[in-house]
């Protein structure tokens, strides 16, 4: 497989699970989340939504120093030279799309693996790629979202204003809500919506509409008490 500068393929356990059927191949971008890089916050709602403490940045391969160094390097590039960052990203996506075409699989990209940046412009430039993301920037769904960019709003009860707005925007714009539960046994419904198992795969753009995507708390999130992880 081709070497990429910013995207990663075949390194994230959940996206690998999504690709096992042989129909899709998923690339993901991992940055240093929140404000780990001085002068650059790639997760604007991290504190308000309470997800900073329970972030999955150090889960799995993220526990390795070289992986953390790579994420820092990419984020520093975005901070210091955004033009070069997006130039490298476009080159990666062109290469990835060509590779997928050659292999006869659908190219899928989750640009915010450990960040929450607006990638709408990039998605428009690559209509042949299916993009998807989870976001805590709930008002992003009110903007002009390209057809090839599926967004799921991340739910949290860490802040009552955030909770109210996240649900409000999800209901108004017909967007699914991702909810992190403390226990693996998911409830049948939550907030009046059916709950589906979001850990079976990460292909959120295939989910039915108006559902809660139930996720099991992992890593640091297991000990979260902010309200980001919901007791069930």
State pLDDT tens for residues 68-79: 688 889 999 999
What is the reported pLDDT for 137?
96
For residue 11, is pLDDT > 80?
Answer: no
State pLDDT tens for residues 104-151: 999 999 999 999 999 999 999 999 999 999 999 999 999 899 999 999
When pLDDT is averaged across residues 199-227 and rounded to a whole number, the result is 90
When pLDDT is averaged across residues 177-187 and rounded to a whole number, the result is 94
Nearest to 133 by CA among 67, 148, 174: 148
> pTM for the whole thing?
0.91
Q: For tokens 């991992």, what's the residue?
A: 30
Name the average pLDDT for the chain.
Answer: 89
Q: How confident is the model at residue 21 (pLDDT cuts 50, 70, 90)?
A: confident
List all residues 6 or more positions away from 122 whose beta carbon is below 8 Å from its beta carbon. Answer: 86, 89, 90, 93, 111, 131
What is the reported pLDDT for 69?
82
State pLDDT tens for residues 87-109: 999 999 999 999 999 999 999 99
Specify the higher pLDDT residue, 63 or 167: 167
Specify the higher pLDDT residue, 58 or 10: 10
For residue 195, is pLDDT > 80?
Answer: yes
List all residues 6 or more positions away from 120 whose beta carbon is below 8 Å from its beta carbon. Answer: 143, 144, 145, 146, 149
For residue 61, is pLDDT > 60?
Answer: no
Q: What is the chain's alpha carbon radius of gyration, rounded to the nearest angstrom?
A: 17
């Amino acid at each position: 497989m081709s070497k990429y500068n910013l995207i990663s393929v075949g390194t994230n356990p959940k996206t690998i699970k999504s690709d096992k059927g042989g129909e899709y191949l998923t690339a993901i971008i991992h940055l240093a989340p929140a404000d780990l890089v001085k002068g650059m916050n790639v997760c604007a709602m991290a504190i308000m939504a309470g997800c900073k403490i329970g972030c999955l940045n150090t889960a799995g391969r993220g526990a390795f120093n070289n992986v953390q160094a790579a994420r820092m390097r990419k984020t520093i590039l975005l901070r210091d030279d955004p033009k070069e960052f997006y130039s490298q990203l476009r080159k990666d996506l062109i290469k990835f799309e060509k590779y997928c075409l050659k292999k006869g699989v659908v190219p899928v990209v989750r640009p915010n693996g450990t960040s929450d940046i607006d990638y709408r412009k990039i998605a428009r430039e690559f209509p042949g790629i299916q993009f998807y993301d989870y976001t805590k920037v709930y008002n992003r769904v009110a903007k002009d979202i390209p057809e090839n960019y599926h967004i799921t709003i991340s739910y949290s009860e860490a802040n009552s204003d955030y909770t109210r707005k996240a649900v409000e925007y999800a209901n108004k714009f017909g967007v699914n809500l991702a909810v992190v539960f403390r226990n693996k046994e998911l409830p049948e419904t939550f907030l009046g919506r059916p709950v589906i198992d979001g850990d079976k795969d990460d292909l959120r753009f295939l989910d039915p509409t108006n559902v809660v995507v139930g996720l099991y708390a992992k890593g640091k999130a297991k000990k979260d008490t902010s309200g980001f992880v919901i007791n069930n």
